[in-house]
């Protein structure tokens, strides 16, 4: 579990014991995969950690909105920016930019269909939420233009 403290380092805490396992300076957010893979958000960049490897990638915007993990990659969305896929080896696999004023609010990996899912919203026009599926190569396909409220 990660705990952020204003003006202090983020603490990685053992949820069972409450013991601090690690302190991370400069980390503003963290996304955890099912194994030892973690995406940390720092000022102006992200850091992917897996086992003993670390890979850094500059952000194209000011914030990360969401991240999700597959068996070999992480996808993360940026506020007002692209949706990017980073392999666990640290390579950018693909990058998707949406219409101006749009970004992916949420992302997920669906292993049953071997696809990423992204809910995309045009925040400038306050339009509908679009649900997209993206394959491992970055090919995108809109599923629906239903409003998010319609999903219950």
CA distance 137 to 133: 12
Position 87 pLDDT exceeds 80: yes
CATH code at 2-151 = 2.130.10.10
Q: What is this structure's pTM?
A: 0.79
Residues present in the chain in total: 152
- pLDDT for res 117: 92
Q: Copy the structure tokens of residue 122.
A: 């045009």
> Which pLDDT tens digit goes with each residue over 109-126?
999 889 999 998 888 888
Domain definitions of the chain by residue range: 2-151
Q: Are the C-beta atoms of residues 77 and 104 closer than 8 Å to each other?
A: yes
> Which residues lie below 8 Å from residue 92, measured CB to CB, with a gap of 6+?
57, 84, 85, 86
């Amino acid at each position: 579990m990660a705990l952020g403290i204003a003006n202090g380092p983020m603490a990685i805490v053992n949820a069972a014991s409450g013991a601090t396992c690690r302190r991370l300076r400069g980390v503003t957010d963290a996304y955890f995969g099912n194994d030892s893979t973690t995406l940390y958000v720092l000022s102006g960049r992200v850091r992917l950690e897996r086992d003993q490897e670390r890979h850094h990638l500059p952000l194209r915007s000011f914030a990360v909105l969401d991240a999700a993990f597959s068996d070999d990659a992480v996808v993360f969305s940026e506020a007002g920016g692209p949706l990017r896929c980073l392999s666990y080896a640290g390579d950018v696999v693909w990058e998707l930019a949406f219409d101006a004023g749009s970004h992916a609010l949420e992302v997920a990996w669906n292993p049953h269909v071997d696809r990423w899912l992204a809910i995309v919203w045009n925040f400038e026009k306050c339009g509908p939420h679009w649900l997209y599926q993206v394959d491992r190569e970055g090919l995108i396909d809109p599923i629906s233009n239903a409003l998010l409220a319609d999903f219950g």
